[in-house]
Amino acid sequence: MMREIIKVSQNNPDQKIIEKTSEVLNAGKIVVLPTDTVYGLCINSQSENAIKKLSEIKGRPQKKGVPLIIGKIEQLFEYTNQISAKKIEFLKGIWPSPVTFVFERKKNSKSTEEGIAIRLPEQKLCRKIAEHSGPFLATSANKTGEPILDNIKEIYLQLQNVHLFLDAGTVKENIASTIVSLQKDTPELIRNGKFPFKKIIQLWNKI
């Protein structure tokens, strides 16, 4: 299998790299790229074969959900049930950011899971790819239970069956996103991360 490493700018990405990455994702292949939190293993959200490969690489059950990366807030409504006006206003105030929100999944979805985790990242690279290729699934580029890796060389050596690696150097902060549920009337913390939950609640209470 051909494996390729390409240098990339996170906030000023070359359009040719956006197009190439989108092409690889839409072919059902796996990409490692930097997000605004950690390096991510990324796949096309509609490819069952890619989802199976991702599960094998991570070494965890296929049924475990993977967050969806979107490029603009309008893409959110393709995957979720009706969202209240207050929640939409809240999201517009907090996104883009390193916060993953869990929503009630659209009822006509093929998935049996009730919730869907979605993120609109701060970083331009991910947003541009999601706008060009469509939303994609992304999870940390490491094997389940092992430390999160902060550079492409280590990831390249550890993870097989990845076709394309986008190298933006060492990810300095290397802290995963905060995960918050919006399935109920108020935000509920699922996992602490880069964005303080206290600040999320403060923003919510201002609306």
CA distance 102 to 109: 15
pLDDT at 111: 58
pLDDT at 187: 98
CATH number at residue 125: 3.90.870.10
The residue segments making up the domain with residue 168 are 4-205
Largest CA distance in the chain: 52
Which residue type occupies 164?
Answer: L
CA distance 118 to 82: 15
Q: Which residue has the higher pLDDT, 149 or 197?
A: 197
Quote the tokens at residue 9.
């700018």
| Mean pLDDT score across all residues of the chain | 92
Put the strands of the sheet holding 99-104 in their side by side order. 4-7, 164-167, 31-34, 39-44, 136-140, 68-69, 115-119, 99-104, 178-181, 188-191
Q: Quick one: average pLDDT of 152-167?
A: 95
Q: How many CB atoms lie within 10 A of CB 156?
A: 17
Residue 206 has pLDDT above 80, yes or no: yes
Instruction: Convert the pLDDT of each residue in 6-56 to its tens digit.
Output: 999 999 999 999 999 999 999 999 999 999 889 999 999 999 999 999 999
Q: How many CB atoms lie within 10 A of CB 190?
A: 16
Domain count of the chain?
1
105 in Cβ contact with 22 (< 8 Å): no
Q: Provide, rounded to the nearest whole percent, the portion of the chain with pLDDT above 70.
A: 95
Q: Which residue has the higher pLDDT, 118 or 36?
A: 118
Instruction: Convert the pLDDT of each residue in 66-79 to its tens digit.
Output: 899 999 999 999 99
SS3 145: coil
**Taken in order 73, 137, 78, 81, is the CA torsion positive or negative?**
negative
SS3 127: helix
Q: Quick one: average pLDDT of 97-123?
A: 86
